[in-house]
Amino acid sequence: MAADTGKLTAVAIKAAKPGKLADGGGLFLLTKDNGAKLWRMKYRHAGKERLLSFGAYPEVSLAEARRRRDAARAAIRDGGDPAADKRAKRAADKLEAADSFKAVAAEWLGKQRHVLAPVTATKAEWLLSLVPSLDPLPLAQVTPPAILSALRKIEGQGHHETARRVKQRIGQVFRYAVAHGRADRDPTADLRGALTPVKSKPHAAITDPAKMGDLLRALEGYAGQPVTAAALKLGPLVFVRPGELRRMEWAELDLDAAEWRIPAAKMKMREAHIVPLASQAVAILRDLQPLTGRSRYVFPSLRTADRPMSENTVNAALRRLGFDGDTMTGHGFRAMASTRLNELGWKPDVIERQLAHAERNKVRAVYNRAQYMAERRTMMQAWADYVDSLRAGGTVIPIKRKAS
């Protein structure tokens, strides 16, 4: 029996009742009332009794518990305190976990959520999830080779643009860490030129007036879901970004004033934006109001009114109408309007402001917003009339703004 020899055996451990069974050298097995068996070691340091935990049996075997006991006794002989050392290591591990790439990335993303559009924040979170090998590493161990190895896996799947975007997000996380004194530098700076070059491809768009007429007539004849049909008709008239269109809310609209006020939180450039609505756009929205007016979103999802329509809905509808991804996209309505309005003589500043492109000079941006609103209203109505004329297939009347 263990009590006779002072050494535990597998049989004694299996038959142990609640209480303590000693193995010698301070090691003992503590059996709880619930049957749990825990390894403990009692020792003295600086005249005080200390207790060390080695884990639970059978996860930690008798042989392993003895090895840990012997290592602890050796440390004690050298003047160490195993319990204190264990607490220090636990604290260091906790600190290291707090400064792991995953933890700092989550912290950075949490700070960004109030300035990023929800769809952008979700995309950033997804991009950072594509490098799981970096997650557990302390920032000091996230070296250029480690990052490049993670990015190469993405490139190996043919996703070169995605790899580039992931690298950008990693760089943003590190710049945040540097600013908060948790990293010395951004290691992505050393990866310049390391990834496969990506040739940017503009969004497909139809800009030839005759082909625009064909497109507009096809949109008018769309026989699918009424909500999708309304989005297809409204898209060319407001030429906002697809995410802004599908997340349009009734509360943002003043149909009597013919205005759509998009909050800054929804805009790519994080500035509130006003879209003057031509009479044709107002008519589309009034026709849609009996269908979705009780919902939050003007274009709700077909599955639930609590979410807007899918980001793929408009593009899928265009495909059904025979326009492939190399011909026309939902984002292409912006290029279509921008190209033709410039060709028709409208002021570039007015067009750019309506497209909600960023103005680098902030003082000038405030001035332009005020100065151009009247011209933007005129331009949006003239554009809607021009779109009508193209759809009708009649003689195209120039809509160039008359000189003041």
* Residues annotated as part of the active site: 241, 268, 331, 334, 357, 367
Strands (E), 46-156: 48-57
Instruction: Using alpha carbons, list the distances in angstroms from residue 261 to 248, 315, 356.
Output: 9, 25, 12
The DSSP secondary structure of 235-278, one letter per residue, reads: HHHH---HHHHHT-BGGGEETTTTEEEE-GGGSTTSS-EEEEPP
How many angstroms separate the first and last alpha carbons of the chain? 108
Are the CB atoms for 56 and 39 separated by under 8 Å?
yes
How far apart, in whole angstroms, are the C-alpha atoms of residue 35 and residue 123?
A: 48
Are the CB atoms for 127 and 166 separated by under 8 Å?
yes
* 330 exposure class (CB count in 10 Å sphere: 0-12, 13-18, 19+): buried
- Looking from the CA of 56 toward its CB, the CA atoms found within 13 Å total 5
- Looking from the CA of 261 toward its CB, the CA atoms found within 13 Å total 6
Residues whose CB falls within 8 Å of the CB of residue 355, separated by 6 or more in sequence, listed in order:
239, 334, 337, 338
How far apart, in whole angstroms, are the C-alpha atoms of residue 29 and residue 23?
A: 8
Task: Please give the single-letter amino acid code of residue 69.
Answer: R
Closest residue by Cα to residue 169 from 126, 117, 232? 126
* 3-class secondary structure, 17: coil
Strands (E), 129-278: 253-254, 259-262, 273-276
Name the token pair of 222: 């769309």
* 3-class secondary structure, 32: coil
Are the CB atoms for 248 and 298 separated by under 8 Å?
yes
Phi, psi dihedral angles at 238 (to 5 degrees): -110, -20
